[in-house]
Amino acid sequence: MHTTDTFQQLPKQWGTACRRILQWWMEYGMDPSKQFFYGEVSNSNKPDVHASKGLVMHARIMWSFAEGYRYFQQADYLQVAAQAELILDRCFRDAVYDGYYWKINSSHQPEDHRKMLYGQAFVLYAYASMYEATRESRFLDRALSLFHCIETHAHGNYYYAEAFDEHWQALPDARLDEQEPLFLYSLNAHLHLMEAYTALYTVYRDTYLFSRLQHIVTIIQQKFYHNGHLLLWMQDQDKPASSHISPGHEIETAWLIMDMMKKSGYENAEWYAMINQLGDQVLKHLYAHNGLMEPVHPPEKQWWAQAEAMTGFLRLYLFSRNEIFLKASLDTWKWIQQYLIDEHDGEWFWGTDAQNRVLMHRYKAGFWKGPYHAVRALIQNIALWKEIHA
């Protein structure tokens, strides 16, 4: 399947690919003053200086560079993370009512005052990582403050509410994108809230925090998991808002729950059964389509889904030692190298169509594409490889 030399070269390949992404963001994702990040950059590395700027993109930049600093110990990575944190604090944070605005304009003034759970989760995630990287208490304080804010305003009778105005009044439309159906609760927001709470629990062991973390996974397992797949959106009274299936979110959910159990020391047989089922379903999809096809119109093999497959299957291999998961992970990496990595202009392309043709009309960086998915997958893979060969 793969030679011994290939195996030995993998961590180096992943490390190099990760550094190249971070370097691209320092060279092309920031304005010449190095004080701000562009709202959008094309595949030819041309910035759109008038593009709006998203909360999620900035939080993901902060997280990616904090993690890059933790792993590679390169000082300028921490400087970039600190600059992203400064923008979050000065331009996105609501100092009166707490929380963070969804979007700012190119002049760095609030443009969309909504407070979306999905965005708050990524900010919390970034602050937990920044604290782990620096051990500066102010970052932990900010993470804990946002945790309590979320629990105060978003924690409902069972699910977490997802959309609010600037005064934290609930909104009826929780969509993050116009392509999504109307819904009240989403897998995506609950999944990344779980990821953020896991990161916070890693640096702050607290009984209440852990109880909320367990509850979120229970929501995913009891409400979103159905017939071997994960529902993406729910209406009130537990009614699915769509029948669409996202293999990228399914493999991401599987490995993030495994990560949560490892870091918390808590194991659950029902969760493992769900993880195994999801892994098997996504594996079949991968080889049926030569990649993970996301349910947009027309379907796309998006960069983030392939990154999740690469690290998700490797984690499943570490757990099960089933060679088919190892093969799936390495085959996905080969596909990423062949179709996604832009060797000429840097970073990764948005994705391809069903025939593996690169989607050149999509931006390389923007509201929904930051360094997070690829950087996280590559760093995770290096760490998992060490565990496999320990």
Percent of the chain exceeding pLDDT 70 equals 98
| pLDDT on residue 390 | 84
Q: How far is CA 117 from the centre of its chain?
A: 14
- Specify whether the CB–CB gap between 349 and 362 falls below 8 A: yes
**pLDDT score for 140:** 98
Q: Is the pLDDT of residue 5 over 70?
A: no
pLDDT of residue 339: 98
**Sheet of strand 53-54, all strands in order from the earlier edge strand to the far edge:** 53-54, 103-104, 110-112
Asked if pLDDT for residue 160 goes beyond 50, the answer is yes
Provide the mean pLDDT of the chain. 96
- pLDDT, average across residues 49-63: 98
Q: What is the pLDDT of residues 271-297, one digit of tens each?
A: 999 999 999 999 999 999 999 999 999
Per residue in 88-101, pLDDT (tens digit) is 999 999 999 999 99
pLDDT for residue 181: 95
DSSP class of 302: E
Is the pLDDT at 102 greater than 80, yes or no?
Answer: yes
Classify burial at 52, counting beta carbons within 10 Å of its beta carbon; exposed 0-12, middle 13-18, buried 19 or more. Answer: middle
Can you spell out the DSSP letters for 265-301?
Answer: T---HHHHHHHHHHHHHHHHHHHHHTSPPBSSSS-BE
pLDDT at 1 over 90: no
Q: Residue 360's pLDDT band (boundaries 50, 70, 90)?
A: very high
- Residues 365-390 have pLDDT tens digits of 999 999 999 999 999 999 999 999 98
Q: Which residues contact 217 (CB under 8 A, 6 or more apart)?
A: 194, 257, 260, 268, 271
CA angle at 225 for the pair 224 and 226, rounded to the nearest 5°:
110
pLDDT at 129 over 70: yes
- All structural domains of the chain: 4-388 (1.50.10.10)
CA-CA distance, 25 to 45, in Å (whole number)? 10
192-229 pLDDT, tens digit each: 999 999 999 999 999 999 999 999 999 999 999 999 99
Beta strands in 146-196 (DSSP E): 163-164, 185-186
Rounded distance between C-alpha atoms, residue 160 and residue 116, angstroms: 11
